[in-house]
Structure 1
Amino acid sequence: MSNTHRRGRAHRRWYAVAAVVCATAVALPLYAAQGQEEGSTLTWQPCKGHSDVQCGTLMLPIDRSSPGKTFGMKVARHKATNPSKRIGVLLVNPGGPGGSGVEMALDSKNFPAELRERFDIVGFDPRGIGQSHPIKCSTKLINKTPQKLPRSQAEFEQLASYNRTLRQDCLKHNGPLFDHADTLNVVQDMDALRTALGEEKINFYGHSYGTLIGQQYAQAYGGHVRSMVLESTMDHSLGTTKLASTAAAAVEDSLTAFAQWCKTTSTCALHGQDVLGRWDRLLAAADRGELHDSYGPVSADNLIDHAESSFMEPDWPGLAKWLKKLRTGTPHHQADPPSTGSTAESDPVRSAVFCQDWQVRLRDYQDLQALVRAEKADAPHARTSPKMHETILGCIGWPRQANNPQRPLHIDPGAPTILLVNSRHDPATGHAWARNVHRQAPSKTRLLTYEGAGHKAVGTPCTTKAMNQYLLHLTLPPKSSCPAADVK
């Protein structure tokens, strides 16, 4: 694996990801905080190294259908700096799956001063993540992840066997929590946290995979919500093929936007060139094993992965400079052996959540080939979304039935109108997903489009003002879009 590819991996904060796979929709369970959860309390103390933030642990059942075993959910609270004007609590989740809400709450710079004044910012680590019974599996086994895309039924079965072995290892190390890390369980944990905080209603901000937590909380406990902002939105209604192809289309869209930026921006290192044509030629060279940078060979997988990571921020200038430096032909040296196209390193935390939240179960090599064809049809230049593709491959061999399979969004009538904020060119949670979520709940959602690029939509004066006005005053933005900021 080249150093370039490693840099791409380092940028990954997975967003995750989703026709309904079951003919009959399954109703969301409406669990009240009861039994053991009623007796759960939070005892606060200063967080280590953060005297202005309080930390606590809430004990919760691992399996509500079979009470007994519990885990401790870690919580951090940054109290409102102006108590006399306090509105309530703002629960936050940064996405992932794997992101730490505790770490998010510890850094007050994550939130505008106006929100810190009026809300207790409360972050929690979802079950299996961070400091909440973190999922741990054999490092030795994780390091044996098959490093190539299956090219036959035999290799497909080898990957399925490996995934089953890893899953059994994780079950051995983590017990029943590994099979109960899905978002429906997290939603019930979150409502138990609301009860422990003594709040009738909560406010919620979720980013990326955190938007699935928000959506499903609004389905089950909409009457307990005062306000909710979902930034970079997941669409939990999509079947396996549509999930993969729309994810690939989001990367394709970002690639096209990048090419257009180079065409109109004189400071782009590829200005004046046919950027998509150059990309296609580089990809073809990578397929032949003839593409390299100063560190060594660059495979097609490396190339797409690095580009996708650059689209997240976005770092268009950096990507253009790197693409310009790539060379074709036989390299003078090879720092690493050529990549064969990886299924990526295993991420048991991601699999524990995603493979129970999405019924994505490729049955055989033919299914995989059909998926790849669908991705390429919607992404003729980018080919795939590496993150989504790898995550779906990680579920091969898992038990057929997921705990929380895809279904259309039906928000509780008691919920307020939810503010959806999404970049027009988001490589991870494409704008099409936000539009589809809005279509599923048009009377309960308002979509605000940031006309720029990247996996972060809030942060410009326009989007930040819209979010603040909504959370503070429940005033929805009068316009449906915010202008793009200049790419530097």
Structure 2
Amino acid sequence: MHRRPLALAVTVLTLVAGWPAPAHADPPPPRLAWGECADDLPGVPPDPDVRCARLRLPVDWARPHGPTFELAVARRAARVPERRVGTLVFGPGGPGDSGVERIRRGDRFSDELLDRFDLVSFDPRTVARTAAPACAPDPTLRRPPIPLAGPADFDALLAYNRAWWARCRPTSPVFDHADTLSTVHDLEALRRALGERRLTFHGSSYGTLLGQQYAERYPGRVRAVVLEGVFDHSLGVRPFVRTQAAALQDAFDEFVAWCDRSTECVLHGRDVRAVWADVLARADRGDYAPRTAFDVTAVTLRELAGPRWPQLATAIRSMAAGTPPDEVRLPVAVAAFCADWPAPVRNYAEYAGLVREAAAAAPDVRYGAGLLAVQTCLGWPSPVRNPPHQLRVRTRTPLLLLNARHDPRTGYAWATDVARQLGRHGRLVTYEGWGHGTYLRTDCTTAVVDRYLVDVTVPAPGTRCPAG
């Protein structure tokens, strides 16, 4: 006699959450028709072991019978079929990285994984071959620099961003549905289309957010999930900006220590922090115009991710001699990122407070990538489709987290905080080294991930891999 009210309550809760009510039985899985990949990747000719397909999916998962789009997918067949474990899905980072290109290059995986898994990935919504918007900013509008210099810049950036998004929106059917939660449902559809009972997944950088939220929504479908270079989606805008700046400062401190002890550094024997401060002062005076102090800092974001310490030292010496910094492009899939990371900054005064917060956390490098994120999304409609929240994951197999101690982009503090949120449903492995991306750094990091993915062997609590 209580079944009808209970069913009604479940339906109401599901509709409030914004997703369709569960059906009594899963619909037939979507189909993948594998064929040759287009010859569209310079320097990487088509490989007969790699096949490509397109998976037709709903634009809006709340309207499963509404408009559709095609998700670009690639698969590299296991090299040793008789030892094949199953299918491993790779979650690309960015957001904006192409998973199809990762599979076609085949350079992101160990020999063991290449031998024992069919390796599959995709271009997420609005990326590359998957409904990427074909648009450009309005050439009549000025794009203010980073950081913004005053209220006029703040207003100009709002106008610039909104005009750009208005030009992009008509060119991509998924522009307003590119959030990670929508991609979670894409991933589940891909799992079903691949015929895998449970998901084996390796997410890198921003792809770790996809792995976290998939495990949260489909815990019973998880076989093994690796999170490499961990994003923390629980942060508000202030701690997001502060922790990104702190991570870059930590990586810069490590670079300075290397310069002090290594003759390989072209700044060895000099006060590196003083040289760097002079470079920033030059940028503040306009010596590198139109490049700004943020463009100078962006050089560290690029080189410390390697880490490429010798190249960073050479770049600083060159800027100290008066050469402007190279332009560093830090592309991001705007429609995905801004739907996941709100930038509720109402005016220039609040923005200036964020700049001060970043500078306090990073006295040498000042900014970090957090301010770029804020300016990228300033003016995005609120509320966002996938707002930050504390993770609630309950999986049979703990998620494996792997992070460098000195990562300038996804700082170690993010990894430890996500591990805290996961509790016994997560296991953090620390690489005691540097850079962004750690899986193939050393024999230790590679072995930890491979044993987990192949055998579902969870490393012991507190496992650490020494720097290589």
1:326 aligns with 2:319: yes
Normalised by the length of structure 2, the TM-score is 0.88
The residue type equivalent to 1:384 in the other structure is Y
2:307 to 309, 314, 333: 314
Shift of residue 150 of structure 1?
2.8
Shift of residue 203 of structure 1?
0.5
Q: Aligned equivalents of 1:414 and 1:366: distance in 2?
A: 43
Seen in structure 2, the aligned counterparts of structure 1 residues 93 and 132 have a Cα distance that, compared at 3 Å, is same
The residue type equivalent to 2:62 in the other structure is S
Counterpart secondary structure, 2:176: helix
Aligned to 1:19: none
Aligned to 1:380: 363
Aligned to 1:272: 269
1:367 aligns with 2:365: no
The residue type equivalent to 1:114 in the other structure is E
Equivalent runs, 1:292-441 vs 2, <5 Å: 299-327=292-320, 350-385=333-368, 387-411=369-393, 413-441=394-422
Shift of residue 129 of structure 1?
1.1
Seen in structure 2, the aligned counterparts of structure 1 residues 438 and 29 have a Cα distance that, compared at 3 Å, is farther
1:213 aligns with 2:213: no
Task: Name the count of aligned residue pairs.
Answer: 443
Counterpart secondary structure, 1:40: coil
Contact 2:137 2:167 in 1 (8 A): no
Seen in structure 2, the aligned counterparts of structure 1 residues 474 and 31 have a Cα distance that, compared at 3 Å, is farther
The residue type equivalent to 2:186 in the other structure is D
* Farther-moved stretch of structure 1 (134-143 vs 350-359): 134-143
Seen in structure 2, the aligned counterparts of structure 1 residues 355 and 321 have a Cα distance that, compared at 3 Å, is same
* Farther-moved stretch of structure 1 (400-409 vs 145-154): 145-154
Q: Aligned equivalents of 1:309 and 1:34: distance in 2?
A: 50
Seen in structure 2, the aligned counterparts of structure 1 residues 32 and 51 have a Cα distance that, compared at 3 Å, is farther
Aligned to 2:41: none
The residue type equivalent to 1:130 in the other structure is A
Aligned to 1:6: none
1:84 aligns with 2:63: no
Q: Aligned equivalents of 2:24 and 2:70: distance in 1?
A: 17
* Farther-moved stretch of structure 1 (29-38 vs 393-402): 29-38
Q: Aligned equivalents of 1:119 and 1:78: distance in 2?
A: 8
1:135 aligns with 2:133: yes
Once the two structures are superposed, residues 431-472 of structure 1 have per-residue CA deviations (whole angstroms, 9 ceiling, x without a partner) of 110011001112011111111111121111110011111111
The residue type equivalent to 2:279 in the other structure is L
Q: Aligned equivalents of 1:131 and 1:199: distance in 2?
A: 24
Aligned to 1:46: 36
Contact 1:54 1:76 in 2 (8 A): yes
Contact 2:147 2:294 in 1 (8 A): no
Once the two structures are superposed, residues 191-250 of structure 1 have per-residue CA deviations (whole angstroms, 9 ceiling, x without a partner) of 011111111101000100000000000100121111111110000000001101100111
Q: Aligned equivalents of 2:130 and 2:298: distance in 1?
A: 30
Q: Aligned equivalents of 1:322 and 1:167: distance in 2?
A: 34
Instruction: Point out which structure has higher relative CO (alpha carbons under 8 A, 6+ apart).
Output: 1
Seen in structure 2, the aligned counterparts of structure 1 residues 146 and 283 have a Cα distance that, compared at 3 Å, is closer
Seen in structure 2, the aligned counterparts of structure 1 residues 319 and 34 have a Cα distance that, compared at 3 Å, is farther
Aligned to 1:451: 432
Seen in structure 2, the aligned counterparts of structure 1 residues 32 and 214 have a Cα distance that, compared at 3 Å, is farther
1:229 aligns with 2:226: yes
Contact 2:76 2:103 in 1 (8 A): yes
Once the two structures are superposed, residues 394-431 of structure 1 have per-residue CA deviations (whole angstroms, 9 ceiling, x without a partner) of 211121210000000111x2341111111111111111
Contact 1:208 1:429 in 2 (8 A): yes
Equivalent runs, 1:220-259 vs 2, <5 Å: 220-259=217-256
Aligned to 1:189: 186
Gaps of 5+ in 1: 1-25
Shift of residue 143 of structure 1?
8.7
Aligned to 1:461: 443
Shift of residue 85 of structure 1?
2.4
Counterpart secondary structure, 1:109: coil
The residue type equivalent to 2:157 in the other structure is L
Contact 1:142 1:345 in 2 (8 A): no
Shift of residue 360 of structure 1?
1.8
Aligned to 1:21: none
Contact 2:146 2:292 in 1 (8 A): no
Percent identity, please: 40
Counterpart secondary structure, 2:424: coil
Alpha-carbon RMSD: 2.7
Aligned to 1:13: none
Aligned to 2:284: 287
Shift of residue 149 of structure 1?
3.6
* Farther-moved stretch of structure 1 (81-90 vs 439-448): 81-90
Q: Aligned equivalents of 1:395 and 1:47: distance in 2?
A: 34
Shift of residue 302 of structure 1?
2.7
Seen in structure 2, the aligned counterparts of structure 1 residues 155 and 395 have a Cα distance that, compared at 3 Å, is same
Aligned to 1:22: none
Contact 1:30 1:221 in 2 (8 A): no
Aligned to 2:453: 471
Once the two structures are superposed, residues 349-403 of structure 1 have per-residue CA deviations (whole angstroms, 9 ceiling, x without a partner) of 6220111011222111011011111101111111011x33122112111212100
Seen in structure 2, the aligned counterparts of structure 1 residues 107 and 313 have a Cα distance that, compared at 3 Å, is same
Contact 1:360 1:392 in 2 (8 A): yes
The residue type equivalent to 1:352 in the other structure is A
Q: Aligned equivalents of 1:28 and 1:273: distance in 2?
A: 58
Normalised by the length of structure 1, the TM-score is 0.85
The residue type equivalent to 2:398 in the other structure is T
Gaps of 5+ in 2: 1-15, 39-45
Aligned to 2:104: 106
Seen in structure 2, the aligned counterparts of structure 1 residues 345 and 112 have a Cα distance that, compared at 3 Å, is closer
